[in-house]
Structure formats: structure tokens, C-alpha cells
Structure 1
């Protein structure tokens, strides 16, 4: 569906010029309706959008055409005498009349004042063979000059057996500036007329005229009774204060009342805007069902934001990742601050977990995250549903559905994006803290002391006790009495190594807990960005669209003036 733009000269320069308390003009209301259609596309029911789009097309075209001419269409049923009435107003036999039905098979037009009427008649799609003009010098000298600017159209019968005739009537019913229904005393209550035309266009009272024709067949008191009954019938069908005139094409001065109405309409030159205003009123009323009177939410509150982030955090498995990284941190630290003899013994036991940590840990973990899949996608879906549950009840059904769709607009890519955010949060573990290296150097120094002490004890036993070195052993290896002292040195070295390892493990445990909390916070910040970009922003954009939609519906309905920045 496409909608034609409102003419620039009638659009942007006038919007927002009036104070909010001043009822908006026709151009502002058409602009508002155009925004309503654009906002509703893909969200609201297609038929009402198509109808509004057709109105915008028609209004844009009509506003570009002559505003000096008033298009008046004579419509009626078979035998109502509208062609005779048309000829009586024109003063010439332009439209065929007679007993054969239907006499009028195509629309006939008579124009008073040709200047600018050509494009209008082309838009009305009236065959050039049936276009007539009253613009001669003789006409201008007569009373016809009071009808200058009138485009009078005689339509086929609305109840014709020919489908093309009925289609012609249906077309002009939607585009005529002033619609005149010609009825006769016998069939003014015709069900087809009232059901198909009067009731659907009941809001168009201001641009609808009822002509009770052929009153020459009635007695004077019967005319009043007939008009009263017709008025009662029309008011019961929704026409507020309907305009009714009587006429007779054969009686002297029988069309003066109708002619006076035409003169007034042409002189006022308001029929075009009044018709479009009535059309906008009618279509705007259909859009009011898509808005609620209560002010809608415009943002996602902090509570729902927090719940969404927590749900996505759980779906991404961030707590488990943080816990695993704490363990990996401790395992990595054990290679540096642990007692080397214990580490050597652990390696001799061929620990598979340790073998996995021998490569670059950070890159290994980064490659491990490919985003939540499987059941975690279901967790993401549940999180998206939960965030909208408290918002959609405050919206009309169509807009509630569009908010839910907005929340799920990135559902398929959220798992992968969450995985990427976890990758980015992984720390650079391969940059070892300096104190780890200091502790490792200290530990190996103690190991060296312990090893040298054991070797020293062996030499003391060999040379001091077993006298393996001859008569003159060195005092450092020949004095057996040094064995206890060297043994104490070895034990102290081993003990200090064990104590250092134990103390460092406690420090690493505290450090790894802080490290895990910090990393989980980093992951949560990344998840918050994902939640905002992929869920919160689309929801709030949709809520803002609904807010502007409500304002534009009110503007189109003529209830308020809206200024959009």
C-alpha cells in the first residue's frame, strides 16, 4: 500500500503553527493520518490501513486540483427524477430522461466556469462526450452567474441492474464534495439506499443533502408529513440534523430551494474541505479502537531490566564460567607458588586436567565459548517473554503483539552475542603476576637448599662416619657432628617451602575469589549491553512509536494539535 504525500504547500509550513488548544486544520489532520498509517503498517489490520491510504491518496489529489470548483453529485434510484432535476438546474436538456430504465448509463457533468475545471474533470474521469459548460456571455448575464464554480454531475441509478452503473455511483460517493440524494415520495425509504449509502456515511451529514423530488404529486399537507417521516428515518440511522429540501422539475419555481442550496455551497467554497474533513473523521474513528485512553508505559522499568539481565546471565552460564575461571586461576597459580616437590609429584601422577592447562589458557577458553545453544536458547526465549509480560497488558492487543515481536526481533542472534560477550570478558591469565615469580624463585631456592643439605649429609656420612676420604678429610665433610645441624637445615628448608606454599595458596584463594567476582561483573556488564541493544532499545522504540501513534490518532480525529520535532 502506498499513500500519496500531502502537497508541500499545505504541509510542513503549517504543522505546529497553532497553539495546542486550537483545533487542528485539515492539512494537519491529514498529516497526522499519514503518520498513523505509516506507524500502523505491519502492526494494525490491513483493511483499515488500506482505507486510510486510499483516503490520503484521494485527499492529496483533490487538494492539488481546483479549489474554486465545488463538485456536486446527484445520486438516486430508478425513477427518482434526478436527471430531470439536473436538466432543470442546467436549463438545458443535457441528461436523457424518459420512461425507459435506466436512462443515465454514464455520469454527465455541467460546469459553470471552465477555468481550472479541465484537470478536475479528468480526475473525476468523466467522459469528454458528457462534459457540458455554462460559460457563454449569455449565461453570465443570467442568474447562472451565481453558480459560477459549480460542477454538477448526474450519476447512474444506484439500484441499476448493471454492475458498472452501481460501481460508478460507489466511486462518486467517495469523491464528490457535496453528495445529493434525490428520492421520490414513493421510494424514499428504499432499503438499498439506506443500507448501502445513508448508514455507512452517516458522519457525512454536513456534505450530504436529501432532495425529496416530485412533490408535485403530493398535496401540501402530505409534503410536510413526508418530510417529517423522512427526517425521522434519517435521524434514526445516525444523520444528525439532516438537510432536506423539496423540489419538482415540472412545477414553476420547483427547483428554487435546491438551487439556493447550490448557490450557497458554491459561494462558501467550503464543500471540498468539509467533505475531506468528514472523510478524515470517519476513518480516524476506526483508529481509535487501536489506542487506549490510559497513558502507556514509555520505558522498561529498572526492575524488569534487572530481571532480564539476570535471566540472560543465567542463560549464558556466566556464574559457572566465573567459577571455572576461579579454579583455573588457582590451578595456574599452583604452577608458580606451589611447593615444587608437590607439583612434581602431581605431574608424575599424569593429571589430565593439568595437561589441558599447559597451553595458552586464555585462548583455549576463548575458543571454548561459541554461545549458548540448545536448552539455553529456550532460557533466552523465556527471558524475552518475561520482560514483556508486565508491559503488554497496558497496551491494546495489536500493540502488545508488536511489543512482543520487538522484544524477540533479535532472539536468534542473542545466544551468539552472549557468547561473544563472555569471550571478551575473559582475562589475560598468561600475564603472570610478579609476586608469583618471586615466590617461585624462593621455592626453588629452598629446594636447592634442601637438596644441597641432603647431599651434604651424605658426604658427612661417607667421610665423617665411614672414613671414606682417608686420614685428612675436609672439615665440612669430615665432621660427623655436623650431621644434626645440616639435617635441621634441610628440615627447615622443607618446612619453609611447605609453609610458603600453604600461605600462598591461601592468598591465591582470596585473589581468585576477587578475580572471579571481577570477571563475573565484567561478564554482567557485557550482558547488560546485549540486553539493552537487543531487547530494551527495540521495546522502548516500539513504546515510543505507540505514544506518537496515540497523539497522531488524536490529531487526525481533530481532538488536539501535535507538534513533532
Structure 2
């Protein structure tokens, strides 16, 4: 028969490392006090693991008049603490030691100056029992001492009495925040000798109900009388089990790490106090994905603001303009040079490469266009932050806006660089230009030939033989044929330039859109995605830290 074993969680060392990583990732994004508290837990856990692991520190904590000092003396078997009825008598914590060899550094770390050997050691060897000041003392120093040691000891024994076991200050300030420390918490109802047996049972039931409401379900609750000794054996037996196990320190640290990680994961802006920064399965499906619609909207807004429609139109017109200058009829093409080049007016030249420093002369974006870009950036941030808890959603939105001030110059640079390719001259222009000059040369040859013949006729010189092409003399063929052919070539070239300008404008539009989209990704989307990746690492670290 195959035995199924429960998979063990990560070790305490791994969880502590994960908690440290989570605090580093959460710094600047989560509330400072939450991050500082988690760092304190990590530091405290590291310090406790370096001290004696053979000793278990148990603290008796309670309110004024609960009888915890009497219980402390009863457990120690000696009169170590002064006992008072209506006023606090314990001003600083003191320790009773059962076989306390080697516990000095641990007590130094706890800052407990008063140390006493206990009575008989028995099965409590290794126990360090602390008597804490009253948590409801009128002196602030007493309450601060309790708060400090409650965070440091291995096991907490809360001593309550029948009159004040339901005190709201005890439950709200101490017990409820320690809901994750059930394994290292014990509650003792002291002074039960003052109640009839039936009343004791009712008090225990009511106390159990209150503890369940605090999240401390399953915490041991013992009825004890320090004066008569009732229930002391049960309490000693429970303490002996914790001491013998030698694992209370790790259980305490584990609970501290779990609680600190839970506080890191909690969304302070959530209306539900139990809401955490860890997304549900449904929310996780919508997270970490590239916001396609918002990204397309950003690209469109940047293209309009960068004047891409103006540039595309200028590319088509500029191509036709330059084609006429390069391939037109030499007799009339020079007139085209007096017209401005649309691309040159926008300072888009073939020589402006990737190292271009100057800006183009594309008209600046209007107020409405800038507002559209800002809205598109915000939409990208909102889409990327979808499903994230408040602080992380704000961090993602901020990351999406972090380089918005650089967008204008970056887009202008890629516009200048990308548009420069639209000024390259096609090879056929050169061939047509050569052909046009050959045709023009033929026209000039015909005109010169006819001029010579006219001069000879005017001077009554004998006419040389005149070759003909059919019935038409060759000089006339060269003159008229050159003129007609040049015009036809110019018209055909202009038609080809018009078609080529449309193609080049479409290619330029696609290239500009791709280049501007890349700028948008680098300066808006990638910072947001980097923040999403940080959040993913954070949630993974928190999950590991929580075990």
C-alpha cells in the first residue's frame, strides 16, 4: 500500500530570506511602517536563531490584579516577585531559570536584568520564565516593556482573572493581533478558587468564545489558582512539553514571519481588512498581460501628436517634386527648383541618421493632441494595473508615466531618423535623367543642324546632301523627335513618380508607426511591465515567507 506523505513547506531559513526580499521589493511602494515592521521581524528572527536554542523563554503577561506574579512564584517554587493587590508591583521583567547555564546571552538580548534560579528543576530544565510588568499599568514605561518582550519571547502565557478576562484592551491590543501565534500562546484563568465550580465552567466557556472571536481557536485555556495550587500541575505539564520539544522558538519565529508577510500582502486601501495583495485566480488571468488596446491607442495618439499624417503627405509630395527635378524635361525642369521641397521644409534630409541631434520642423502638437497622449499613457497604466492591490496599482501607473517627459524628444528623433529613408533617390531616376539628356542632346543636334542649313541658305552657299528619314530630313526628325520624346518621357516619369510617391508614403507610414510604437513600448509599457515583474516577484516572496 502506497503511503501518501504531506509535502513539507519551505524551511525557516528560506522563509526569512523570502521575507527580506519581499521587504526590499515593497520598499517605496508599501507603507513605511509595514516594511519597517517586517524588517524588524527578519532582524529579530536572525538574532534569536543565533542565541541559545536549548532554552525556551516563556513570559507571564497580564493585567493589574490578575495574580501573574503569584503564579510566577508558585511555578518557580520560591518567593521571587513581590505580590500586590491593587497596584502594579512589577516594574521590570525578571527571569526564573531552570538550569540556566548558557542562557546569559539570550537574557542580555532580551534585556532582562533580574535573573533568579528556580526551585527544583525536574522536567522543566531549559525553561526561562519571565514575569512581565502589567500591560495596563498607569506607567508608560511598563506598557512599553510589555510590548517589547511580547514581540521577543518564545511562548506567551496570558494570565487573566474572572473579573477582567473580557477586557477590551487585552483582546484588541494583544490577543487579536496574535491570532497567527496560536501554537505559542496559552491562556490561564487564574483565581478560580474565588468562584463556585459552575461559575468556573461558565467563565471558561465565555473566555473560549472570546478567544475564538480573536482568531485564537484551539489555544489551550487552563483554570488555575496560584493560591491553592489548583491546575498548577496541568500548567507545569504544558510548559514541560514546550520545553522538551525545543521547537517553541522556531514556532514563534515562524508565526512572526507569517504575520509580517501577511501584513506586507495586505492592501491598506481595501475596504475588507482581510483583503490581501495576493490576487485571486480570476484576477490573475487579467494581470501581467500586455494591454494591447491601450498600447494601440498610445501609438495612435503619439503618431498624431508627432505629425505623422503631415509627414506622410510631405513624403508623397516630396517624392513627386524630386522626381520631376531628376527626370523632367531639361528645358522646363529647372522651373521646379523654385518650388519648396516639402521634406526639406520639415528638415527631413537623407543625411539625418541615428546620431541626429536637431529636431524636425514638424508642427508642434496642439493642446488637444497632448491631452490625448496623456490620456493614452494613463490608459496604459490603468490597463497594466488592472487587478493589482492599491499600492502596487499606483506604482504601476506611476511607472507608466515615469518617462513621459522624454516622449516628445524621443518620438521626434525616431521620426527624423525613420523619415530620412523617404528621401533616398530611386535608381531609375538616374537612368531616366541620362536618357532625357541624350534625347535633349538629339534635340540640340537637330536644332544646330537646321541652324547651319539655314545659315548656308542665307549666305547662298551650296547645300550639302541632306539625309532623310522617309520624306522628313533628319535634322527635323532630331529636333521634333527629341522634343516630343522628352515630353513623353517626362510625363511617363511623372506618372511613375506619383505611383511611387504613394507607395513610399505607405511604407513611411508603416515605418513611422512601428518606430513610434517601439518608443511607446520602451518609455511607457516596459516601465509598467517592469513594475508588474517586481510585483510578481514580491507576491512569490510573500507566498514563500507565509509558508
Measured after TM superposition, the shift of residue 548 of structure 1 is 3.5
Distance of 1:427 and 1:417 partners within structure 2: 16
1:369 alignment counterpart: 360
1:417 alignment counterpart: 410
Distance of 2:376 and 2:168 partners within structure 1: 56
Distance of 2:136 and 2:335 partners within structure 1: 105
2:531 alignment counterpart: 542
1:80 is the counterpart of 2:30: no
Query: 1:290 is matched with which residue: 277, 286, 289?
Result: 277
1:424-466 CA distance string (max 9 Å, x none)? 22446786555433332332333343344444444444442xx
Distance of 1:27 and 1:409 partners within structure 2: 36
Query: 1:108 is matched with which residue: 87, 94, 116?
Result: 94
2:103 alignment counterpart: 117
Task: Verify the 8 A CA contact 1:370 1:416 in the aligned structure 2.
Answer: no
TM-score when normalising by structure 2 = 0.84
2:167 alignment counterpart: 190
2:397 alignment counterpart: 404
Q: Relative to 1, partners in 2 of residues 1:57 and 1:292: Cα closer, same or farther, differing over 3 Å?
A: same
1:41 is the counterpart of 2:27: yes
1:338 is the counterpart of 2:315: no
Measured after TM superposition, the shift of residue 364 of structure 1 is 7.2
Measured after TM superposition, the shift of residue 221 of structure 1 is 4.6
The secondary structure found in structure 1 opposite 2:486 is helix
1:132 alignment counterpart: 116
Q: Which runs of 5+ in 1 are unaligned?
A: 1-18, 559-565
The secondary structure found in structure 2 opposite 1:53 is helix
Task: Verify the 8 A CA contact 1:425 1:523 in the aligned structure 2.
Answer: yes
Measured after TM superposition, the shift of residue 168 of structure 1 is 0.7
Task: Verify the 8 A CA contact 2:359 2:413 in the aligned structure 1.
Answer: no
Task: Verify the 8 A CA contact 1:373 1:415 in the aligned structure 2.
Answer: no
Distance of 1:433 and 1:187 partners within structure 2: 95
Query: 1:93 is matched with which residue: 79, 89, 113?
Result: 79
1:492 alignment counterpart: 481
- Within-5 A mapping of 1:461-500: 461-464=454-457, 468-470=458-460, 472-475=461-464, 486-500=475-489
- Within-5 A mapping of 1:234-249: 234-249=211-226
Measured after TM superposition, the shift of residue 307 of structure 1 is 4.5
The secondary structure found in structure 1 opposite 2:53 is coil
Measured after TM superposition, the shift of residue 31 of structure 1 is 3.5
Distance of 2:389 and 2:160 partners within structure 1: 43
1:10 alignment counterpart: none
2:130 alignment counterpart: 153
- Within-5 A mapping of 1:298-377: 298-300=288-290, 305-346=295-336, 350-353=338-341, 361-363=349-351, 367-369=358-360, 374-375=365-366, 377=370
Measured after TM superposition, the shift of residue 172 of structure 1 is 1.4
- Larger deviation: 45-54 or 114-123? 45-54
Measured after TM superposition, the shift of residue 372 of structure 1 is 8.6
Distance of 2:359 and 2:140 partners within structure 1: 71
- Larger deviation: 335-344 or 363-372? 363-372
Distance of 1:20 and 1:419 partners within structure 2: 60
Distance of 1:176 and 1:109 partners within structure 2: 12
Q: Relative to 1, partners in 2 of residues 1:170 and 1:429: Cα closer, same or farther, differing over 3 Å?
A: closer
Distance of 1:115 and 1:437 partners within structure 2: 100
- Larger deviation: 491-500 or 414-423? 414-423
Measured after TM superposition, the shift of residue 408 of structure 1 is 2.1
Measured after TM superposition, the shift of residue 404 of structure 1 is 2.0
1:24-47 CA distance string (max 9 Å, x none)? 444443333333333332333333
The secondary structure found in structure 2 opposite 1:412 is helix
Distance of 1:416 and 1:202 partners within structure 2: 55
1:324-369 CA distance string (max 9 Å, x none)? 123222222222211111123445xx43559968x99424796452
Q: Which runs of 5+ in 2 are unaligned?
A: 267-275
Task: Verify the 8 A CA contact 1:326 1:512 in the aligned structure 2.
Answer: yes
1:386 alignment counterpart: 379
1:513 is the counterpart of 2:502: yes
The secondary structure found in structure 2 opposite 1:517 is helix
Q: Relative to 1, partners in 2 of residues 1:355 and 1:31: Cα closer, same or farther, differing over 3 Å?
A: closer
Distance of 1:364 and 1:203 partners within structure 2: 66
Q: Relative to 1, partners in 2 of residues 1:112 and 1:372: Cα closer, same or farther, differing over 3 Å?
A: farther
TM-score when normalising by structure 1 = 0.81
1:71 alignment counterpart: 57
The secondary structure found in structure 2 opposite 1:414 is helix
1:52 is the counterpart of 2:52: no
1:139-182 CA distance string (max 9 Å, x none)? 6xxx4142111111111111211110011111112222111122
Task: Verify the 8 A CA contact 2:422 2:508 in the aligned structure 1.
Answer: no
